[in-house]
Structure 1
Amino acid sequence: MIRRTDFRVVEKEEQSLKAQPIHKHASPAWPSCLLRLAVMICVFASYAWTAYPSEAAGAEAVVPKNESNSEKVVYLSFDDGPGKHTREVLDILREEQVQATFFVLGEEAERYPELIQAAVEEGHALGNHTYNHHYDELYSDFKSFWKQVKQTEEIVNRITGFRPNLVRAPGGTYGHFDQNYFDLLELGGYTVMDWNVDSGDSKRKGVPAKEILRNATKVPSDTSSVIVLMHDGGAHAETVKALPGIIEYYRDHGYRFDTMNAENQPVQFRVHPEGKYKSRKAPGAEWVTEHVKANRNLWLTGKELKVEIGLAAATLKQGEFRVEDQRIMVPLRPFMKKFGGSIRWDVESRTATAVWKDRVIQADSVRGELKSTSASLSNDRTIQGAVQGQGGTIWVPLRELLELMGLDVSSLQSDESEWIVKANLPLAAALNFYLYRTI
């Protein structure tokens, strides 16, 4: 259990929040009563707005089939990099303010570590695309595939400080994976992700940009979540030319751009009924226990962290937070996204700027400063030594971040499976925030 003077640690059964005293006034006039009632309703409305459920839960799944009320989202993905065109792709994505997911090869990551770091710094997600892309080696047996996944994972970890548990099979899973590949990777804690829109930029050498654009915008019917396959490794200059048009198409058609993560519902091809690798032998039970089952502990060891802000809540799994010197540290970008905030990264100043409600929070990774400003309040604050930059990820202390968001941290509860941090928007701040939004 974590004990820290600025958190009150309580048992789960203990009531952590106590009622605030109510100040009564004698016989107010009816107009005054009505005004107070209206203000209270507005305050409760602001709390409800704080708890927008889809963002708070962080449950944005890639769903193959359309649902009546689901929003349209597109995940741009790039395979086989980093390479000579990755910097051009990153520049276009930055100019268009779009995030993407890069499935990287280990041997290319070793060659261009600065591009891996740049992709993370600019808010993109990384996935594992094995080490060398050699089909004969990867699909001869599962142990070979596993070895390359772990090899690339270690390389990315050395560069960025984290391990990607999102995996894409070279060439896709169809005709390459049997059910055993799927099952063992899932058992090891990985999410395998194929695609549902193929840009066709690797069908043959020199596919022209017009053809890539046409293929990349062929969205299957009844599909609200689109994963577009493209490539930034190798000779894919035409993909770079097509990229602005692809972004324009999806933006014009009402799609939201996002990055993939292992919590998304996977899009996976079915197992080929007569694949040429059908006769492969599965690894023995002893090997699976030693390598695969033990590997899952990289993401499942220890407690989860649940953060409650008013009516909103989000759960951070192991790897999405860490504990250092009795402080809970969280990555700024994913945390803000879970609670409906927005964030941008300035490469030159190496500063992340997050916007949450009326608060603007800046995390300077060079000076280590975390500070906030508010359009409706005058209590701006700067915290020294609170920001850590690791492999392009900005880590900040949870309590200080919540305070800079204008929240009162009330308690830290703990049980065998999770920590629960509770925070609320103070009544005065909620009122000021409501007035600021309505004036």
Structure 2
Amino acid sequence: MREKKRRMETRLLAILGIIALLIGGEIILGVRTAGEEIAYAAAQQQWRAHPVSAATQTPYRKANTAHFILKDGAAHIPKIELSLPTIEHEAKAAGAASALLTVGKQSKKVYLTFDDGPSRNTPEVLDILKRENVKGTFYLLGQQVKQYPKVLKRIADEGHAIGNHSYNHNYRELYSDFRGFWSQIRKTGKAIQEVIGYEPPLVRAPGGTFLNFNKQYFDLMGRAGYVVMDWTVDSGDSKRVGVPAKEIVADVKKGTLSADTVVLMHDGTGHGETVKALPEIIRYYKAKGYSFEVMTPEMKQVQFRIADRERWDRKPVSQAWIQANIDPVQVATGEPVKQPQPPTGGTTPKPPIQKSDPLLMQLKVTTDSGELELASNQFRSYQDITYVPVRLMIEKLGGTITFDEAKGVLLLNVNGLEWAIDWKTGKPMQLEIDGTLTILPWETQMKGNLLWVPLRQALEVSHVQFLSYELQVVDPNKSSSQTDENAKAEDTKAEETKQERAEP
């Protein structure tokens, strides 16, 4: 009897010793990660009624993990209740582990991106992507879009993503002044829209943003709705002329294998070796378990940090320029809006506003002679100067315009004060007391059959004092009657301008 009792005590002490050892290990090592917890539980099969896989130990281990609180330097050991897992626990755990592994595999995404196209190389790139059942993202140059519109159309039709990569890739023009960068982005966006029906919000800066973008570049691009993307892996295909395909593949394989890998390649002129390297690059990422995705405006932005030094000597653009140029723009999506079909026997409905259309803005200018309200198509900005149609401005100020055939000038009269514009050259002139004309130091522009003048300067020469201005967003759902009325008025003014142009 005593021997039996002694054996039971020995077993109990052994069990308590093992528990103490486990507790001590947990206190010394600290908190375990999820992966460590699975591995740790796999070694505890002596506590289980039947062996199971390491992955299925997690629920059991979590259910029986004790929490320890140190009091006065000593470990406080709470009561431990051991329980055996059930078949239901095993099934649930196995399913959870399987789902976890599946999600982990699917979360590895690679984005193949191609800059500087479209070119003669692009169709071959598209052939390879189609054969491999892979989608890519193409960052296009505006001048190349003009040259290869059919290739751009094919890129869009085959389901690849499209981004803006400036118009001509000229670094000095792009980065010496934000206005140069903005002009190229807008010009390229328009060129793309003319081919596929929408302007893409994705943008990649030539050379990347590091040392090229400052905070204002990032802020203003985001303010207008553009999404700027860099990369995580450089294929090295543009580090010099004629980089061989073998070297391009090697550089890609040296790149970091992150959960979201963005690979920089080029399909522009002179990049035939990139085309040769592409199949091997695709095979490499497939072997690594990556899925191939296209970049979207909604995904997390891949951007380099802002450099702590400046490469370019440039000044920030003014708030007036920002309000006139950035705020009216809002590139929202990367796909065209489908047009509704007219009902049987009915009239064709007006197409909805494209999501990528710029916001309509109204400019209200306050002067000492009253207010000038200008619709979105009645003012434009160029190099920090706001222009308006001269006839429209003069009429809103209650003035008149006549044509002096002898002198070949338009005479503009506001409040009894006259100034003139030379009809042939467009030069603005001050009418002196003795009847002579002095050329003024600013320019007019002829756009859309209308003669445009800089607003502030035209007000000044008309002896009208500029007081303030306000930009307002126009409700796109406003009744179309007013819009149609404005359009008719503009058509009438344009026709009158044509007649004036023809008279001399």
- Scaled by the length of structure 1, what TM-score is found? 0.53
- Residue 294 of structure 2 corresponds to residue 239 of structure 1: no
Give the deviation of 1:263 after TM superposition: 1.2
Q: Does 1:101 align with 2:137?
A: yes
Q: Choose the corresponding residue for 2:340, options 302, 320, 324.
A: 324
Q: 1:87 aligns with which of 97, 120, 123?
A: 123
Output the amino acid matched with 2:327.
Answer: K
What is the CA–CA distance in structure 1 between the aligned matches of 2:268 and 2:192, rounded to whole Å?
A: 16
**Residue in 2 aligned with 1:308?**
none
1:283 to 317, 338, 345: 317
Alpha-carbon distance, 1:70 to partner = 6.8
Whole-Å Cα distance in 2 between the matches of residues 290 and 324 of structure 1?
33
Equivalent in the alignment of 1:178: 214
Cα distance, 1:325 vs structure 2: 5.3
Partner of 2:227: 191
Structure 1 residue 322 displacement after superposition:
4.9
Question: CA offsets per residue over residues 121-165 of structure 1, 9 Å max, x none?
Answer: 111111000000000101110011000000000000000011111
Alignment correspondent of 2:301: 266
Unaligned runs of 5+ in 2: 1-98, 344-348, 353-474, 476-504
Higher relative contact order (CA 8 A, sep 6+): 1
Q: What secondary structure, in the 3-state scheme, does the structure 2 residue paired with 1:94 have?
A: helix
1:7-406 equivalent positions in 2, closer than 5 A: 71-220=107-256, 223-277=258-312, 279-296=313-330, 298-299=331-332, 321-322=337-338, 324=340
Provide the rounded CA distance (Å) in 2 between the counterparts of 1:182 and 1:168.
12
8 Å CA contact 2:200–2:335 kept in 1: the answer is: no
Cα distance between partner residues in 1 of 2:109 and 2:176 = 36
| 8 A Cα contact 1:201 1:207, kept in partner | yes
Distance verdict in 2 for CA 1:319–1:291, change over 3 Å: farther
1:293 counterpart SS class:
coil
C-alpha separation between the residues in 1 aligned to 2:284 and 2:105?
22
Q: 1:107 & 1:122 partners in 2: Cα distance?
A: 22
Label 1:68 to 1:87 Cα distance change in 2 as closer, same or farther (>3 A). closer
User: How far does residue 98 in structure 1 lie from its aligned partner after superposition?
Assistant: 0.5
SS of 2:262's equivalent in the other structure is strand
1:323 Cα offset (Å): 5.8
Q: 1:318 to 1:75 in 2, by over 3 A?
A: closer
Distance in 2 separating the partners of 1:144 and 1:169: 13
Judging changes above 3 Å, is the alpha-carbon distance between structure 1 residues 253 and 182 closer, same or farther for their aligned structure 2 residues? same
Cα distance change on mapping 1:149 and 1:226 into 2, 3 Å: same
Work out the CA distance in 2 between the residues paired with 1:236 and 1:322. Answer: 36
Q: Distance in 2 between matches of 1:318 and 1:104?
A: 14
Q: Is the 8 A contact 1:197 1:217 kept in 2?
A: no
Distance in structure 1 (CA, Å) of the matches to 2:240 and 2:334: 42
* Residue number in structure 2 paired with 1:349: none
How large is the Cα RMSD of the aligned pairs? 2.5
* Paired residues of 1:70 and 1:224 also in contact (CA < 8 A): no
Amino acid at match of 1:229: L
Q: Secondary structure at the match of 1:202?
A: coil
SS of equivalent to 2:212: coil
**Count of aligned residue pairs for this structure pair:** 246
* 1: CA distance, partners of 2:176 / 2:302: 24
Q: Which residue of 1 aligns with 2:42?
A: none
Distance across 1 between alignment mates of 2:275 and 2:339:
41
Secondary structure of 1:154 counterpart: helix
What letter corresponds to residue 109 of structure 1 in structure 2?
Answer: V
Q: CA deviation at 1:320?
A: 6.0
Would the alpha carbon gap of residues 135 and 82 (structure 1) be closer, same or farther in structure 2, given more than 3 Å must change?
Answer: same
Q: Which moved more, 1:171-180 or 1:211-220?
A: 211-220
Indicate the residue corresponding to 2:488 in structure 1: none
1:269 maps to amino acid: F
1:127 partner SS: strand
SS of residue paired to 1:276: coil
Structure 1: which amino acid aligns with 2:232?
A: N
Change (3 A) 1:319 1:126: closer
Identify the structure with the greater helix proportion: 2
Instruction: For 2:321 and 2:128, locate their aligned partners in 1 and report how far apart those are by CA, in whole Å.
Output: 45
Q: Is the 8 A contact 1:199 1:228 kept in 2?
A: yes
1:295 alignment partner, SS class: coil
Alignment partners' CA distance in 1, 2:261 and 2:282 = 13
**Structure 2 partner of 1:311:** none
Distance in 2 between residues matched to 1:319 and 1:120, nearest whole Å: 10
CA distance, structure 2, for counterparts of residue 97 and residue 69 of structure 1:
19
SS at match of 2:327: helix
Q: Which amino acid aligns with 2:267?
A: D
CA displacement, residues 90-132 of structure 1 (integer Å, 9 cap, x when unaligned): 1101111100000000000100111100111111111000000
CA distance in structure 2 between the aligned counterparts of 1:116 and 1:243, rounded to whole angstroms: 19
Indicate conservation of the 8 Å contact 1:131/1:149, yes or no. yes
Question: TM-score, normalized by length of structure 2?
Answer: 0.46
C-alpha displacement at 1:69, in angstroms?
8.2
**Aligned residue number for residue 95 of structure 2:** none
Structure 2 CA distance for partners of 1:318 and 1:264, relative to 1, 3 Å: closer
Amino acid at match of 1:211: E
Once the two structures are TM-superposed, the CA of residue 217 in structure 1 deviates from its matched residue by 2.5
Identity %: 46
Give the superposition deviation at 1:216: 1.6
Task: Rate the CA distance shift 1:101–1:139 in 2: closer, same or farther, 3 A.
Answer: same
Which residue matches 1:312? none
SS of the residue corresponding to residue 328 of structure 2 reads: helix
